[in-house]
Amino acid sequence: MGSWQSLKLKILSNVFGWIAFSVWSISFYPQVLLNFKRKSVVGLNFDFVALNFTKHSSYFIYNASVFFSSAVQRQYHNKYGSKQIIPVAANDVAFSIHAVLLTAFTLVQIMIYDRRTQKVSKITMIILLAGWISVAICVFIAIPRHHWLWLVNCFNTLQVVMTTIKYIPQAVMNFRRKSTDGFSIGNILLDLLGGLSNYAQMMVLSIDQHSWVNFYGNIGKTLLSLVSILFDVLFIVQHYVLYPVRKQMSSTPIAVNHQALVTTTQSV
């Protein structure tokens, strides 16, 4: 089994890992609270949420399997070397559990709050169906041959695909509406910090092990951070540069109240 060569780097890796876990976990709440405050999910793309739920579900299966299964870990070491540290940490599993629960809660909000004419598109439903059928086929292939590492990598591949495409519907929706109203930017800012912390954790592990296996041995985690960072930057540009919130909207109620006060004073 692999082990850390430097205690300081091990501690630093854990710090970055739990920072990523904390900010990624907190990042779900701004959108949940915004939905609750508005009693509306208008502006939140349902395709994004549906794809996100599949992404986190498959990512949880991968993380839990690699972290807890001795059979998967044994096959990992046989493939990448016995000295390599398993690339899934406790914070990865904890994050996955929390992510599945919060995304499911967001789906409940979509069902009970005002959504007007918004719905999950047929294209997204086809993508989700194809994804789950694909991993189901992988299950039937892997079980007789005991290819457990290959099987969990199938779930990891599914989450990579979902991560790659899940942001696109929301980005397109923002572009068509010329607005990010209803989509929480707090979620994006925290997600960006989480992605950077995740990369820092992986970098520290690679430095300690003098190997880049940590990156290509867990390609899902690598791509997860990269794609997330790129789209986070896009959403930040949309929110603050392309479609900033109009200040006139916040000042309008004050102007109305002021006019009402003047009218009342004159009548008295």
Q: How far apart are the first and last CA of the chain?
A: 85
Q: Which two tokens stand for residue 243?
A: 């479609």
- Smallest Cα–Cα separation from 99: which of 190, 231, 182? 190
Q: Quick check: 189 pLDDT over 50?
A: yes
The CB density around residue 197, as the number of other CB atoms within 10 Å, is 21
Question: Is position 30 within any domain?
Answer: yes
- Smallest Cα–Cα separation from 103: which of 24, 165, 196? 24
Q: Quick check: 64 pLDDT over 50?
A: yes
In contact, 32 and 106? CB cutoff 8 Å: yes
Alpha-carbon gap, residue 138 to 243, rounded angstroms: 43
Instruction: Count the domains in the chain.
Output: 1
DSSP SS3 for 97: helix
User: So what's the pLDDT on residue 2?
Assistant: 59
User: So what's the pLDDT on residue 245?
Assistant: 76
pLDDT (tens digit per residue) in 123-175? 999 999 999 999 999 999 999 999 999 999 999 999 889 988 999 999 999 99
- Smallest Cα–Cα separation from 109: which of 37, 211, 172? 37
Domain span including residue 227 = 7-267
- Smallest Cα–Cα separation from 63: which of 94, 84, 40? 94
pLDDT band of 218, cuts 50, 70, 90: low
Question: Is position 139 within any domain?
Answer: yes
Question: Is position 31 within any domain?
Answer: yes
Question: Is position 2 within any domain?
Answer: no
- Amino acid (1-letter code) at residue 139: V
Q: Quick check: 179 pLDDT over 70?
A: yes
In contact, 194 and 20? CB cutoff 8 Å: yes
Question: Is position 152 within any domain?
Answer: yes
User: So what's the pLDDT on residue 123?
Assistant: 96
pLDDT (tens digit per residue) in 77-116? 998 887 777 878 888 898 899 999 999 999 999 999 999 9
Question: Is position 53 within any domain?
Answer: yes
Contacts of 251 (CB under 8 A, 6+ apart): none
- Amino acid (1-letter code) at residue 74: R
Question: Is position 227 within any domain?
Answer: yes
**Which percentage of the chain shows pLDDT scores above 70?**
88
For tokens 């992404």, the residue is 55
- Cα-based torsion angle of the residue sequence 104, 109, 110, 111 in order, rounded to the nearest 10 degrees: 100
Q: Quick check: 21 pLDDT over 90?
A: no
Alpha-carbon gap, residue 216 to 218, rounded angstroms: 5
Question: Counting every residue, how long is the chain?
Answer: 268
Question: Is position 124 within any domain?
Answer: yes
For the chain, helix (H) and strand (E) counts, in that order, are: 11, 0
